[in-house]
Amino acid sequence: MSWWSFERRWLAVIWQTLLPSGTPGGLALGARDVPLDRFLDELIAFAPRRVTLGARLCVWLLTFCPLFVIGRFALLSALDDDERLAVLQKLAASDVYLVRELPTLFKMLGALGFAGLPAVQAEVGIAVRDEAPPDWVGAEKP
Amino acid sequence: MSGAIVQLGDVRDQAQVEDAADVVIIGTGAAGATAARVLTEAGLDVVLVEEGAHVGPEQLRSDMWSSFKHVWRDLGFQVASGRAITPILQGRCVGGTTAINGAIIHRMPEKIWARWRDEFGLGAALPYAELERIWQILDRELFVGPAPESVLGKNNSLMRTATERLGIAGNLIQRNVKDCEGSAHCNQGCPTGRRQSMNVSYVPRAVAAGARVYATCLASSLVTRHGRSTGVVGRFRDPLTGVRGPKLVVHARRAVLLAASAIQTPLFLAKNRIGVGSGVLGKRLQAHPGTAVVGVFDAPVEMYRGATQGYESVHYWDERMKFETVAMPPELAMARLPGLGPELMRELASYAHLAVWGVQVRAEAQGSVRAGVFGGTQIEYDMTDADIRVLKLGVRRLSEMMFAAGARQVLPGVHGLPPAISSVDELAPMFDAPDDPRLFHTIAAHLFGTALMGGSAFNSVVKPSFETHDLPGLHVVDSSVFPTNMGVNPQHSICALAWLAAERLV
């Protein structure tokens, strides 16, 4: 089941907030610099349906959460970078387990794609064993 | 007959595949492959049926996601529900979980065996001396030995330093690896084929002795005749896409062995209405849940060099905890690191300076497994409050060990605590918090107990002879029959029990 293009944009914004580019003292690369949209295609094509449906629901929850978290009637993607990060950090610190797992879910999914890339691994100092990127980077849409 | 590994691509154009053998085995992991090794070399004709694909080292990529796709069950997304969501780790490929584990070998502790003898009456059925005889053979054939110094790497040697400085017992892990290169890629599937997992040891050995392996084929039902199990029916299916292929029918002249793991075995039995009346099928699921503690060191640790799991401490085994190193690839480490945004990216940048060690709990919790609503699997598992207290103490002790080894900071990964601590005193609030699994991110591996072995059909599924109470000719030979968990990694014990079961069929 394919995702709407706006849902993909919402998720891209979440990933870019969680994994920003050009962090001083951190990595130069971030979600914006790598084709995580193709990784999303892989997830949608092959992950168990409960996972992709759950992820889709969570994208909606995060996108519409600013009203409940900071009292702003705005989509998460419409906030500026600092506000968006503050919202996600507030959720991640929640005492309610399922609430704090929302950003953690996308941190985990993003990490699976992002940190598996040889360029990212090289940047964190790993002597990369396999310099060719994972298949999903160059794959046709499944 | 000549042996072969047959997959969907080989039979896609056929309407049906038929075969016959003395023994048909469902599953090619520690139990199924070991049984095949024994039976083929005793001169019996064997067929193995495996849901996952046969993936050779040359097909493996170095990233975790590629591995999840091709050799892990549910792409690593299999979870148990309870108060917290707990990932349940299993392989799904020829070789089963032995193809993705850390190659840790332990014999069943004698205290556990004594409990099986005294509480479950299994002493005569599973004599310890017999198990020791089999372990000696397994040790030799699977090249079991201590992790060599040459591939220890700093993640492992730092734990040794910690145990020495704190005066607690620690040891190099006994591993089933021949000439390990120390690529720290065990969990992705050994890229060099050095780990003697079943897909590179007993499965090829059985094939060389004539066994046929039908991989990418999901066993669904049993053939029965005159009240006896006489075969298996399955369907070839692409494990990734679900695209279906031909039906498989294999006739068994002597027996059918079920070795599909403590999750899939009870599902198969329930689907075939076997053991249902026992009241315990799919229940009593036991495991070794655990969590990881991360240490930050000034000097590089480079856990991507060395054996994935090369050092352990069973010093506190009587307190239901075991510590072991685990070299975490960056994809998994990143998910475990604290923070979001720039903070997370700074933590990831220090990856080469991180050490990761885990605590594994011999939990008293019992869960359940049953078929889900839409064909999936519903696993329920919730650590008890006492288990959580063990986990808390384990996190504290691992943190002490990290500091003893020279860690500048420890990232405990516990909700309500600072993301990074500089002293174990900062862990105090954890002990004041409720004993709740949602404080931690845990995973569970080593699964047992869902088709209990025992003397009566009223409270067990499998006889001490490994044959099911309900259906003669059907034997369960995997860790489903274990009455309890063990507090150590179970591969060697699973192999030994399967070996014993197979010998009794010869």
Residue whose tokens read 């075991």: B322
Query: Would the CB atoms of A125 and B352 count as touching at under 8 Å?
Result: yes
**A117 touching chain B per CB within 8 A:** yes
Query: Would the CB atoms of A20 and B302 count as touching at under 8 Å?
Result: no
Instruction: Name the CA radius of gyration of chain B, rounded.
Output: 22
Mean pLDDT of B65-88: 96
A98 burial via Cβ count (<10 Å: 0-12, 13-18, 19+): exposed
pLDDT tens string B23-64: 999 999 999 999 999 999 999 999 999 999 999 988 888 899
Contact B57, B190 (CB under 8 A): yes
pLDDT at position A132? 86
Q: How far is B70 from chain A (nearest CA, A)?
A: 10
pLDDT at position A142? 56
**B85 touching chain A per CB within 8 A:** yes
Q: Point out the residue among A39, A51, A113 whose CB comes nearest to the CB of B77.
A: A51
**b/e burial code for range B158-175 (CB count within 10 A of at least 16 → b):** bbbbbbeebebebebbbb
Q: Point out the residue among B63, B349, B352 whose CB comes nearest to the CB of A26.
A: B349
Q: How confident is the model at residue B465 (pLDDT cuts 50, 70, 90)?
A: very high
Query: Would the CB atoms of B341 and A20 count as touching at under 8 Å?
Result: yes
DSSP SS3 for B195: strand
Interface test with A, best of B58, B62, B63 (most A CBs within 10 A): B63
Q: Point out the residue among A19, A92, A126 whose CB comes nearest to the CB of B345.
A: A19
Asked whether the predicted pLDDT for residue B383 surpasses 90, the reply is yes
CATH architecture assigned to B146-177+286-365+384-441: 2-Layer Sandwich (3.30)
CA-nearest residue of chain B to A117?
A: B63
Task: Give A 54-93 residues with CB within 8 A of chain B.
Answer: 85, 88-89, 92
Asked whether the predicted pLDDT for residue B388 surpasses 90, the reply is yes
According to CATH, the superfamily of the domain at B4-143+187-284+445-503 is FAD/NAD(P)-binding domain (3.50.50.60)
**B18 touching chain A per CB within 8 A:** no
Structure tokens at A35: 């084709």
The strand pairing partners of B323, in sequence order, are B313, B359
Q: How far is B76 from chain A (nearest CA, A)?
A: 9
Residue whose tokens read 């990932």: B87
Q: What is the pTM assigned to this prediction?
A: 0.96
Q: Which residues of A touch B68 (CB under 8 A)?
A: 112
Which residues, other chains included, contact A125 with Cβ-Cβ below 8 Å and sequence gap of 6+?
Answer: B300, B302, B351, B352
Mean pLDDT of B361-385: 94
Q: How far is B414 from chain A (nearest CA, A)?
A: 11
Q: Which residues of chain A have pLDDT under 50?
A: none
In the A/B pair of chains, how many CB contacts fall below 8 A? 126
Q: Point out the residue among B62, B191, B376 whose CB comes nearest to the CB of A48.
A: B376
Contact A122, B326 (CB under 8 A): no
* Domain coordinates in residue numbering, chain B: 4-143+187-284+445-503, 146-177+286-365+384-441
Tell me the H-state helices in B29-127. 30-41, 64-71, 110-120
Q: Does the complex come out with an ipTM higher than 0.95?
A: yes
Query: Would the CB atoms of A97 and B438 count as touching at under 8 Å?
Result: yes
Question: Which amino acid does the sequence have at B485?
Answer: N
pLDDT at position A141? 62
For chain B, give the mean pLDDT. 97
DSSP assignment of B159-180: HHHHHHHHT---EEPEEEBSS-
